Amino acid sequence: METELVIISPQIYHASVIGFAKKAAESNENVCYVSLNKTYKSMLQALKKSSIEKKKFFFIDVISPTVFKTAAAKQCIFLDSLNLNDLGSTLLGVIKKNRITLVIFDSLSSLLVYKKDDEVLDFTNYVLPFLEESGVKATLLCLSDDSEKPAIKQLKMRVGDVTLMKE
Amino acid sequence: MATIIIVDDHKDIVDTLVKIVVKMGHTAVTAGNGEEFLSKVSDAKPDLALLDVMMPGLTTKQILNGLKEKNLGNLKVILVTVVRFADEEKKALMSEHNIVDYVTKPFKVHELMESIKRQL
C-alpha cells in the first residue's frame, strides 16, 4: 500500500488539508487523522463547515491537551505530551481497533517543531512498515518550508509518492 | 511607544515580527520559547505579547498559567500561530486568560499591524 508525502505551500495548507479530508470522506476509507496543529474541536468545526461527514474519522489530537483541559471524546484520543513511543503505539492501536485504512498525518512540519530529524525518522521507520504490511495507506503532510530538512529529504526517498502542492 | 515581547521559536518569524513592531514605532523584546518568555516578561514590562502556540519546551497551558501567576494584569496577549482552534475554544482562551486576539500563520502583515494597533 502506498505512503504519500504531500508537500504544501503555507498559503494553501489548511484549505488543502480540508480537501484531503473531503476526498477521504467521500471514499470508502476509514480514516485516522493525526493532528499536531488543529484541535479536535476545530477539526469537527471545519468538517461541518465543509459538509464533510465525520463518522469515518477517528482523531488523535496531540495539541488540545497542551492548551486546554480536555474531556473524553468518542472519536478522539488526546495525547497530553508528544512522546513518539506513545504516539506510535496509540496510532497502531487505533488502526487495529477501528479498522483504519488511511492515516492522514498532520503534520511532519509540526512534529519537527518538537523533535529532531533523527527522532522523526525513527518514528516513521517504526510506523510506516506496520502500515504497509497492514495495507493501510498514509498521507504525510508537510509544509514546503520544511522540504529541505534532513528528515523530509530522507522521507522523499522512502515513500512511494511525493506530491507538491502550491498556489 | 509601547514595548512588545515576541515569543516564537522560529528565528525567521521573530525577525519578521521585530521588523513589523519597530516599523510601527514600538520597542521589540524577543524570547525563543516559553521559559525565556516567563523569565524575561517581568523585567521587560511589555504592554503586549505576541505568543506562538506550538513551541518546544513549556506547553501553552504552562506558559499561560505561569503568566497568570506573575500577576501582570495589564499585559495583553495576541496568539500568533499555525494552530487552529474552534470558535468556542478561542472564546475560552480569551475569557480565562488575557488573550485579546488570535492571528493565524501565515499572516498578512497589515492584518497583524491592525491587530496590534487595536490593542495599544
Residue B73 has pLDDT above 80, yes or no: no
- Hey, where are the domains in chain B? 3-119
Residue A1 has pLDDT above 70, yes or no: no
Q: Supply the pLDDT for residue B48.
A: 97
Please give the Cα distance from B93 to A67 (Å, whole number).
9
Distance from CA of A75 to the nearest CA of B (A): 17
- Which DSSP category does B108 fall into? P
> Tell me: the pLDDT tens digits for A122-152?
999 999 999 999 999 999 999 999 999 999 9
Q: Do A42 and B59 touch (CB under 8 A)?
A: no
Any A CB within 8 A of B65 CB: no
Burial call A70-97: b when 16+ CB within 10 Å, e when fewer: beeeeebbbbeebebeebbebbbebbee
Indicate the fold that domain A16-141 takes in CATH. Rossmann fold (3.40.50)
Cell of A128: 510506516
Residue B106 has pLDDT above 90, yes or no: no
pTM attached to this predicted model: 0.89
Q: Do A67 and B54 touch (CB under 8 A)?
A: no
Average pLDDT over residues B85-92: 93
Q: Do B86 and A11 touch (CB under 8 A)?
A: no
| ipTM for this model | 0.85
Distance from CA of B1 to the nearest CA of A (A): 31
Indicate the fold that domain B3-119 takes in CATH. Rossmann fold (3.40.50)
- Hey, where are the domains in chain A? 16-141
Any A CB within 8 A of B93 CB: yes
Which region, left, alpha or beta, applies to residue A126 given φ > 0 means left and ψ of -120 to 50 means alpha? alpha
Number of A:B CB contacts under 8 A? Answer: 55
Q: Do B56 and A63 touch (CB under 8 A)?
A: no
- Amino acid letter for position A57: F
Residues of chain B with Cβ-Cβ distance to A54 below 8 Å are none
Distance from CA of A31 to the nearest CA of B (A): 20
Neighbours of B118 (CB within 10 A): 11
Nearest C-alpha neighbor of B103 from the set B85, B120, B88: B85
Please tell me which residue of chain A has the smallest CA distance to B61.
A67
Residues 6+ apart with CB under 8 A from A162: A4, A5, A6, A7, A156
Nearest C-alpha neighbor of A61 from the set A89, A81, A47, A45: A81
Q: Supply the pLDDT for residue A98.
A: 94
Average pLDDT, rounded, for chain B? 94
Instruction: Report the Cα–Cα distance between both ends of chain B, in Å, rounded.
Output: 9
Residue A2 has pLDDT above 90, yes or no: no
Which residue intervals of chain A are DSSP H helices?
Answer: 13-26, 40-49, 84-98, 108-114, 117-134, 150-158
